[in-house]
Amino acid sequence: MKIAVCVKHVPEGHGRIDPASKRLDRSGEGALNHFDANAVEEALRIKGDGDGEVVVVSMGPEKAADSLRKALAMGADRAVLVSDAALAGSDLVATSKVLAGALASEEADLVLFGQQASDADGAVLWAAVAERLRRPVVSQAAEVTVTGDTVRVKRQTEFGYDVIETRLPAVVAVSDAINEPRYPSLKGIMGAKKKPFETLTLADTGVDAADAGEAGSKTEVLALGSPPARGDSRKIEGDANAPQAIVDFLAEKRLV
């Protein structure tokens, strides 16, 4: 069984937006998006001791290799990085095309995603990629069980749980409640360097340059501003009627 996991290298620490490009400044240190670590962990659990293969795939700059290596250190078997100057500034539409292009040749039985990216740029990617691959997609997976060619997913929604079954090949996005990602062992970290690592250019994915990067993006960032100030903040001090004042305030905001 082949499981592909899409992972992202995201900026660490305090993000900042580069005023020139109006995009998230990705020049500093980065790390494996911790939501994607859940997806890698789930893939490793599903593979277990069997002879399947876990491939981690990422689209990003060269240093995204660090995150891929962390996934290899956790136990993934192979890594694929799609890295190309033409990819800079890709939005959801462009990114999903490129990832689908890279995944198409893998023909994985199961493609896993983490439920969101901590830099909020990668959320909802899974459904777009599934559409391009023409595969069923199930998101918010709190439990995933693979039996033969079927995958059963316990999906968390606002209302409770749905248990969904679909045939493979499928795309599943896992929630961060699904598991606790393992720490890479020392042997894992050292072994990661020897595992196969492939770097693809845009051309290798079969996607046209016009469909990727800023050129292929259908959305754009226009300007940055400050959010509306919190409004007038009120302070009550030493007021015996404080509880009533609070209720009135909440009523005014239609919160009770």
Partner 1 sequence: MSTLVFLEHHGGELQKGSLGVLAKAASLGDADAVLVGGGVSALATEAGTYGAKTVHVADDASLDPPLPQARVDVIAKVVADGGYDTVLFANSVLAADIAAGLAARLDAGLNWDLVDITSDFVGKRPALQDSVLVDVGWKSTPRLGLFRAGSFDAAPAGGGAPQVVLAAVELEEHSRAATIVDQQLEEASGPSIEDADVIVAGGRGLGAPENFTLAEELARALGGAVGATRAVVDAGWYPYSAQIGQTGKTVSPKLYVALGISGAIQHKVGMQSSSVIVAINKDANAPIFEFSDLGVVGDVHEIVPKLTELVNQRKSS
Partner 2 sequence: MTVRASDYPPPFAAAEFVGEPTDPADERIDVGVLIVGAGPAGLACAIRLGQLLEQHPEVAERLGDVPVALLEKGKQPGSHLLSGAVVNPRALRKLGFRMEDLPSYGPVHNESVYVLTGRNALRIPPPPTMRNHGNWVFSLSRLGRWLGERAEEGGTTILPETTAERLLVAHGRLVGVRTGDKGRGRDAEPLGNYEPGADLVAKVTVLAEGTQGHLTGVALDHFGLRGDEPQVWELGVKEVWKVPRKLDRVIHTMGWPLRTAAKYREFGGSFIYPMGDDMLTIGMVVGLDYRDVELSAHDLLQELKTHPKIRKLLEGGERVAWGAKTIPSGGFHSLPTRLHAPGLLLCGDGVGLVNIARLKGVHYAIESGRLAAESAFASLQRGATPATALGSYDDAIRSSFIYDDLREVRDMRQVFGRGFFVGGALASAMTVSKGRLAPGKLRAEPDADQPLLRTDRGSRYPGPDGILTFDKLSSVFLSGNKTRDDQPNHIRIERRVPRDVADLWINMCPAQVYELGTEGGDGTVTVQLAPSNCVQCGAITAKGGRLTPPEGGSGPEYTNT
Residues 27-46 that bind partner 1 (CB under 8 A): none
One residue of 34, 62, 145, 183 binding partner 2 per CB under 8 A: 183
DSSP for 45-113, written as a single string: HHHTTSS-EEEEEEES-GGGHHHHHHHHHHT-SEEEEE--GGGTT--HHHHHHHHHHHHHTT--SEEEE
Alpha-carbon gap, residue 239 to 246, rounded angstroms: 11
The CB-of-183 to partner 2 minimum distance in angstroms stands at 4
Nearer Cβ to partner 2, position 186 or 222?
186
Phi, psi torsion values for 225, nearest 5 degrees: -145, 175
Question: Which of positions 3-22 make contact with partner 1 (CB under 8 A)?
Answer: 15-17, 22
Cα distance between residue 182 and residue 159, in whole Å: 30
- Residue selected from 85, 186, 223, 229 as contacting partner 2 according to rule CB under 8 A: 186
The values of phi and psi at residue 246, to 5°, are: -65, -45
Rounded CA separation 95/211 (Å): 9
In this chain, which stretch among 47-55, 75-83, 193-201, 246-254 interacts with partner 1, using CB under 8 A? 246-254
- Of 79 and 128, nearer to partner 1 (C-beta) is 128
Please give the structure tokens belonging to residue 106. 């893998």
CA atoms in the 13 A half-sphere facing the CB of 190: 3
- Partner from partner 2, partner 1, none binding residue 181, C-beta < 5-8 Å depending on class: partner 2
**Which does residue 12 touch among partner 2, partner 1, none (CB within 5 to 8 A, set by kind)?**
partner 2
Closer residue to partner 1, CB minimum distance, 62 or 149: 149
Residues 173, 126: contact at Cβ < 8 Å?
A: yes
Q: Which stretch binds partner 2 (CB under 8 A): 89-97, 168-176, 187-195, 210-218?
A: 187-195
Among partner 1, partner 2, none, what binds residue 189 when CB lies within 5 to 8 Å by partner kind?
partner 2
Piece of 83-91, 136-144, 158-166, 189-197 that binds partner 2 (CB under 8 A)? 189-197
Pick 8 or 70: Cβ nearer partner 2:
70
Q: Give the Cα separation of 30 and 8 in Å (integer).
A: 10
Residues 6+ apart with CB under 8 A from 22: 221, 222, 223, 224
Q: Which stretch binds partner 2 (CB under 8 A): 24-32, 54-62, 133-141, 226-234?
A: 24-32
End-to-end CA distance of the chain: 52
Among 51, 160, 186, 187, binds partner 1 (CB under 8 A): 160
Residue among 60, 114, 181, 216 that touches partner 2 (CB under 8 A): 181
Q: Which residues bind partner 2 (CB under 8 A)?
A: 12-13, 28-29, 31, 179-183, 185-187, 189-190, 193
